[in-house]
Amino acid sequence: MSGFWRAFRKNRLALIGGVVVLVLIVVAVLAPMLSPWNPYRPDVKKILSTPSSHHPLGTDQLGRDVLSRMLHGARVSLAVGFVSVGIAALIGVVLGAAAGYRGGSVDATVMRLVDLMLVFPSFFLLLAVLAFLRPTIWTIMAVIGATSWMRVARLLRAEFLSLKEREFVLWSHAIGASGFRIVWRHILPNAMAPVLVAMTLGIPAAILTESGLSFLGLGVQPPYASWGNILNEGKDAIEVGWWLSFYPGLAILVTVLSYNLLGEGIRDALDPRLRQAVGRGR
């Protein structure tokens, strides 16, 4: 663990990404207290007001404060990212562990299911599923998670195939440990590093997916705010209300970039070759 932190601290971009991610999480949690206005209350006297001291990011077509809607939209976007990635990780860990540990027909079945899911472009698969379901935030979380577990499953399967032949696993078999105990206590903890990296990199992908769905009108539905539907509302007034497209687009860009920098930094810090290089540098 000390080697990981030494390597991670050397990566300044990863540190910057981690700080920005932490700030975004704090802002999302404290959004109700940080919002200067009610994000859902219209004001016909302030329709499409330009950014000012009273409304730092301006107002929208209904006179609602854009800053307040952006802060509440951060809660939605980050919640979608965390929950959907959690669902994807749960499915991927269960199927990947079963495929890697059991092998044989179980492995073949899981891998054919992975191949089948990868055949279809994920965004179009999402559109097809949402065509039959009501597009609520919970539905979106579940659908994104249920269509993005394949990478986790493949990573964990590869780790299990390698680890189950190690001496400590063979020794556990020799002393009569149950398969569940071997998987839960010995193999899984040693196989989670690449999964954690995949989860970190999966959060911005989920945020982008939710933003794209909301932009198309299939994501979080008004009056609830998300960065995607704020962008959707802004496209109709882009000539007179540039701020409605600029600020949510900038928020999505910064969030996705920060998570990617953090994920890349974690991946590099977990690389044994890099950690050895850091150790020699001391």
Output 251 or 187, whichever has higher pLDDT: 251
CATH architecture of 2-36+57-281: Orthogonal Bundle (1.10)
Is the pLDDT at 49 greater than 50? The verdict is: yes
Task: Specify the pLDDT at position 271.
Answer: 65
Domain residue limits, the chain: 2-36+57-281
Yes or no: say if 99 and 157 are a contact pair by the CB < 8 Å rule: yes
Scored b (16 or more CB within 10 A) or e, 123-148 reads: eebbeebbeeeebebeebbbbbbbbb
DSSP string, 153-202: HHHHHHHHHHHTTSHHHHHHHHTT--HHHIIIIIIHHHH-HHHHHHHHHH
- Per this entry, what is the length of the chain? 282
Question: Is pLDDT of 7 > 80?
Answer: no
Tell me which residue of 103, 256, 275, 263 sits closest to 179, measured CA to CA: 103
pLDDT tens string 200-252 = 888 888 888 888 888 887 777 777 888 888 888 888 788 888 888 899 999 99
- Please enumerate in sequence order all residues whose Cβ is within 8 A of that of 97, keeping only pairs 6 or more positions apart, or say none: 156, 157, 160, 183, 187, 188, 191
What the block records as the tokens of 220 is 């979080």
Q: What is the pLDDT of residue 181?
A: 79
pLDDT of residue 250: 92
What pLDDT digit, counting tens, does each position of 80-139 carry? 889 999 999 999 999 998 888 888 888 899 999 998 888 877 777 777 777 787 777 888
The pTM is what?
0.83
- Tens digits of residue pLDDT in 105-118: 888 999 999 988 88
